[in-house]
Every structure is written in structure tokens, then in C-alpha cells.
């Protein structure tokens, strides 16, 4: 993925948790500067890449940029796509900035996928987070993107004001029914200078802690995977000045690893239980999942010990599947 950040581009206000200028590390720049820099970067770096990436326009409300700028950014991306140096073109936007005719035009200009920053499908949570649209609007936006022949991405934000982990699982069940092509999960953080930081300082908002977030995101991710919906990002990347700007909330550099290792343990545990009372003799583990198997700082070791697995009876293979061996 080649991300192009247009912080607050097209946004009519600032959402209570959002600090795109800090998150993206690019500060606020005018559109001409971003386009010029992008052209130079693409020309310099793309021909050297071994495989063509996708390009994504993020950090704002792409579909509310002045039309001429939407066209300029897409024309540049399309030029490289037609040269075979980019595969797909994505943009992110808000659910209330999705108009069928406009989406159809953008598809004709080369756009492949729209990521909707839905964040929540619960009206109470959307209202408490002052998102400015209803859950119905978000559902309709998903339908519009699909009906106009584009792929659909959904961004969700667990831990928003007024949201409990069980509320969020209900929302994820609904995301599964919306059948997006990909999902990103960004747990809610309290960032310096945002309205949410004011609420947090006055005691009106308490973010989820890391453990609660990992449990909730693990359950959600497993639910999405079971429907074959890829989760392509968990947590904000530590770009720019993000880290010093976090006042509170469940940011962890290994969040994705911790979620995947928790899910992996759960799956192995379920298979171990299917073996009845037979003890486990060993496990073949694809080498690329070694990190997830034992978990961040070996957190899974104790858990795996409960099903008789230890570094002594795990073998790493180049295969893509796990094999669990039981004593006969």
C-alpha cells in the first residue's frame, strides 16, 4: 500500500478524536504541494519496486475535496496504474459524503475501492462521538459504494464514548452482514488537542485499556475472518508525532501481533479440546507464525502449556497449515 495523506482535506470540521495532522506526520499542507510531492515520489520510487502496490488517499474526506482536486489526484494515480506500476486506487471518506453519481464518476476516473470511516453502527455511540450521521446513513453509504461497482472498505473504532465491548461485538456482527472487502480497526485514542482530550481531562470519557481492547479486537477479528473478511490494519501506525501526542488509550506497537496470537491460541485450544482426553504430542507450525504462536514477550507460553505445548514439541515448517498431533 502506498498511502497518500491529505490531512483534513475535504473535512468540514474536526471529529472529536481526530488529529490527522499528528497521526499522519505530514502536518497540514496545501493540495498543490501534496500533488507535486506525490508526482515526484511516484516517478522516483515506483519503477524500482519489485511488485506494484495499491495507492490510497487517506487522512481526510476525499469525496468532499473540490472536484478538480479529486480529478487531479485520480488522474495522476491512473497514469501509473495504466503503466502497470500501481494496482488499485483507494480513497477514504465519511459515510455522509457519499453520493451515487459522484461515486460513479470517480469509478470512471479509475477509483477501485472506497474506505468508509464508519467507526460505529450504533446511533447512541455516533451521537456521543458527535459524528454527525446516523447508522442508517452509514449502511446506505455501504450500499451505494457497492451498487456503483466499487469495492468497499470499512473502518471501525472500538472504545468510542458510550460504547461497551459487547455493543461493539454487535456492531461487528453487522459489519459481517455488510460484507466489506476489507476492514481496518483503529481503537479510540485520546490525542493531544482534540475535543476528546478535553472530555477525558474533565473525566467525561475513559478510553478502553489495552487488555480490554485486545480481547474485544480478537473476538471481532475472528468473527470477520470466519466470514473471510480481511482485517488489513489494527491500530494506528506510529507515524510522525503520533506517539508523543497520545494522552491515553490502548496504543501498543504490537497490537496486531497480540490479537493474532490470542486468536491462534484460541483456535489451537478448540482443536485440542476436540481430541478429548488424549494428550497432545506436538505441533507443526508454519515458520512465519512463530511470533504469533508464542506471542508478544512469550505471553502465549503459559497458555499453550495448558494444552501440553512447549518449545520442545513444536516443529517449524515451510507449509501453510498447522498440524496438531495427539498421543494414540
> Which positions touch ligand SF4 (CB under 6 A)?
8, 11, 14-15, 18, 20, 60-61, 94, 117
Distance of alpha carbon 88 from alpha carbon 51, whole angstroms: 13
- Minimum Å gap between C-beta 116 and ligand SF4 is 10
What's the farthest any 2 CA atoms get from each other in the chain?
A: 69
Distance of alpha carbon 325 from alpha carbon 318, whole angstroms: 17
Comparing CB distances to ligand SF4, the nearer of 97 and 304 is 97
The C-alpha cell at 305 is 502449556
Q: Kindly tell me the burial class for residue 307, based on how many C-beta atoms sit within 10 Å of its own C-beta (0-12, 13-18, 19 or more).
A: middle
Strand (E) or helix (H) holding 2? strand 2-5
Residues 237, 252: contact at Cβ < 8 Å? no
What string of DSSP letters covers 4-53?
EE-TTTT-SS--TT--HHHHHSS----HHHHHHHHHHHHHHHGGG-SS--
Give the single-character DSSP code of 321. S
Comparing CB distances to ligand SF4, the nearer of 59 and 256 is 59
Dihedral pair phi/psi, residue 195, rounded to 5°: -60, -30
- Minimum Å gap between C-beta 299 and ligand SF4 is 32
- Minimum Å gap between C-beta 319 and ligand SF4 is 42
- Minimum Å gap between C-beta 218 and ligand SF4 is 25
- Minimum Å gap between C-beta 121 and ligand SF4 is 16
For the chain, the distance separating the N- and C-terminal CA atoms, rounded to the nearest angstrom, is: 47
- Minimum Å gap between C-beta 15 and ligand SF4 is 3
Amino acid at each position: 500500500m502506498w498511502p497518500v495523506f491529505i490531512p483534513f482535506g475535504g473535512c468540514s470540521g474536526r471529529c472529536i478524536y481526530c488529529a490527522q495532522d499528528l497521526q499522519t506526520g505530514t502536518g497540514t499542507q496545501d493540495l498543490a504541494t501534496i500533488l507535486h510531492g506525490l508526482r515526484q515520489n511516484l516517478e522516483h520510487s515506483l519503477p524500482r519496486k519489485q511488485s506494484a502496490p495499491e495507492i490510497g488517499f487517506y487522512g481526510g474526506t476525499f469525496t468532499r475535496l473540490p472536484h478538480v482536486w479529486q480529478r487531479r489526484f485520480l488522474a495522476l494515480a491512473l497514469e501509473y496504474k495504466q503503466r502497470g506500476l500501481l494496482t488499485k486506487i483507494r480513497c477514504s471518506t465519511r459515510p455522509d459524503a457519499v453520493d451515487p453519481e459522484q461515486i460513479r464518476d470517480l469509478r470512471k476516473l479509475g477509483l477501485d475501492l472506497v474506505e468508509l470511516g464508519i467507526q460505529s453502527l450504533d446511533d447512541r455511540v455516533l451521537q456521543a462521538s458527535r459524528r454527525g450521521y446516523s447508522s442508517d446513513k452509514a449502511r446506505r453509504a455501504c450500499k451505494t459504494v457497492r451498487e456503483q461497482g466499487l469495492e468497499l472498505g470499512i473502518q471501525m473504532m472500538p472504545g468510542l464514548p458510550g460504547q461497551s465491548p459487547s455493543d461493539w461485538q454487535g456492531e461487528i456482527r453487522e459489519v459481517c452482514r455488510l460484507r466489506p472487502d476489507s476492514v481496518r480497526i483503529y481503537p479510540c485514542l485520546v490525542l493531544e488537542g482534540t475535543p476528546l482530550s478535553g472530555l477525558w481531562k474533565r473525566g467525561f470519557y475513559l478510553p478502553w485499556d489495552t487488555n480490554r481492547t485486545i480481547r474485544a479486537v480478537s473476538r471481532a477479528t475472528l468473527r470477520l475472518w470466519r466470514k473471510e473478511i480481511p482485517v488489513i490494519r489494527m491500530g494506528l501506525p506510529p507515524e510522525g508525532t503520533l506517539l508523543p501526542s497520545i494522552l491515553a488509550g490502548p496504543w501498543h506497537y504490537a497490537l496486531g501481533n497480540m490479537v493474532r496470537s490470542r486468536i491462534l491460541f484460541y483456535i489451537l485450544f478448540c482443536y485440542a479440546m476436540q481430541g478429548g482426553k488424549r494428550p497432545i504430542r506436538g505441533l507443526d507450525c508454519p515458520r512465519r507464525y512463530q511470533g504469533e504462536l508464542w506471542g508478544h514477550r512469550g505471553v502465549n507460553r503459559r497458555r499453550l502449556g495448558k494444552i501440553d505445548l512447549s518449545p520442545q514439541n513444536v516443529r517449524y515448517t515451510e507449509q501453510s497449515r498447522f498440524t496438531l498431533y495427539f498421543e494414540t
